[in-house]
Amino acid sequence: SQQGEEDPQALSIQEGENATMNCSYKTSINNLQWYRQNSGRGLVHLILIRSNEREKHSGRLRVTLDTSKKSSSLLITASRAADTASYFCATDGAQGAQKLVFGQGTRLTINP
């Protein structure tokens, strides 16, 4: 089935640095979403970017979408310890908007 694949699988950086995570997918989409999951908790929606958008900002988050390459990136600027979490991209598309498909996630660790 279509699936977003995040890269890298794990990322460890120092507090204050920027963190970039990438997501690739296989078929055309209507939108792409990013979620965060803290340890032992459910996922929390961060940002949605539509297929006709190329870049979107929300606070310290910047998301880009390149539909020609079927890829997206999530940039977290000025990282904080509280940003330590797993980050997932999710896509709809050929399988329909009712079946949101998640990638395997990037585990981000922010070192103080």
Partner 1 sequence: NAGVTQTPKFQVLKTGQSMTLQCAQDMNHEYMSWYRQDPGMGLRLIHYSVGAGITDQGEVPNGYNVSRSTTEDFPLRLLSAAPSQTSVYFCASRLSGTVNSPLHFGNGTRLTVT
Positions 4 through 43 that interact with partner 1 (CB under 8 A): 30-31, 33, 35, 40-43
Nearest distance from C-beta of residue 112 to partner 1, angstroms: 26
* DSSP secondary structure, 15-49, as one string: TTS-EEEEEE-SS--SEEEEEEE-TTS-EEEEEEE
Task: Say whether residue 91 binds partner 1 (CB under 8 A).
Answer: no
DSSP 106: E
| Whole-number Å distance between alpha carbons of 3 and 95 | 11
DSSP 59: T
Task: Say whether residue 98 binds partner 1 (CB under 8 A).
Answer: yes
Scanning 18-26, 52-60, 68-76, 100-108 for contacts with partner 1 by CB under 8 A, the matching segment is 100-108
User: 44 vs 81, which CB is nearer to partner 1?
Assistant: 44
4 phi and psi, to 5 degrees?
-75, 140
81 phi and psi, to 5 degrees?
-55, -35
Scanning 10-18, 58-66, 72-80, 98-106 for contacts with partner 1 by CB under 8 A, the matching segment is 98-106
Return residues touching partner 1 (CB under 8 A).
1, 3, 30-31, 33, 35, 40-45, 48, 50, 88, 90, 92, 97-105
